[in-house]
């Protein structure tokens, strides 16, 4: 882009770099990084989910309870002991204003522990239950 200098009759070249597009791109990349990194640490436990042929997506209005192979528990990514689990689930259901719980457990976790967690969630006010799984790959 050039501007005419009215005094000398010559064209002056503007050689400034426009930083606005570069800043816009960097902000978009920052937002993408922030969103993807928060999704990666959601459960709080290292789980190996069992496989299923159909998997539905998690909703934001669902309380996630995680059960590891070693018997560790987490509610919405925060570790909790078995004796405080029911209170934590009750608080989570009230804060999210929902009655739905997703139980995500390691494929090798004990079924008895999962049933105990579901009973505590039911006593805390949960009415809808789902089990988390990862999509089975077709070979």
Tens digit of each residue's pLDDT (9 = 90 or more) over 44-103: 555 555 554 554 554 457 888 888 878 788 888 888 888 898 899 888 889 888 888 888
CA–CA distances in Å: residue 20 to residues 16, 17, 25: 12, 9, 9
Topology of 51-135 in CATH? Nucleotidyltransferase; domain 5 (3.30.420)
CATH code 3.30.420.270 region(s) in the chain: 51-135
Query: What tokens were used for 119?
Result: 């009973």
Q: Given this model, what pLDDT does residue 24 score?
A: 92
Please say whether the beta carbons of 74 and 80 come within 8 A.
yes
pLDDT-derived band at 41 (thresholds 50, 70, 90) equals very low
What are residue 79's DSSP bridge partners?
Answer: 74
Mean pLDDT, rounded, of the chain: 75
pLDDT-derived band at 25 (thresholds 50, 70, 90) equals very high
DSSP 7: T
Most confidently modeled of 15-19, 92-96, 114-118?
Answer: 92-96
The SS3 assignment for 20 reads helix
Specify the pTM.
0.54
Query: What tokens were used for 13?
Result: 């070249």
The distance from CA 50 to its chain's CA centroid, rounded to whole angstroms, is 18
Cβ–Cβ contacts within 10 Å for residue 85, how many? 19
């Amino acid at each position: 882009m050039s501007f005419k200098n009215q005094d000398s009759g010559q064209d002056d070249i503007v050689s400034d770099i426009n930083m606005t597009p570069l800043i816009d791109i960097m902000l978009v990349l920052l937002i993408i990084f922030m969103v993807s990194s928060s999704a990666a640490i959601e459960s709080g436990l290292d789980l190996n989910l069992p496989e299923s042929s159909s998997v539905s997506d998690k909703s934001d209005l669902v309380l996630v309870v995680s059960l590891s192979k070693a018997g560790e528990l987490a509610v919405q990514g925060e570790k909790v002991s078995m004796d405080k689990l029911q209170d934590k689930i009750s608080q989570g259901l009230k804060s999210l204003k929902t009655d739905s719980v997703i139980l995500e457990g390691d494929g090798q976790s004990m079924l008895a522990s999962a049933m105990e967690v579901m009973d505590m969630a039911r006593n805390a006010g949960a009415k809808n239950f789902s089990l988390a799984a990862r999509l089975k790959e077709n070979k």
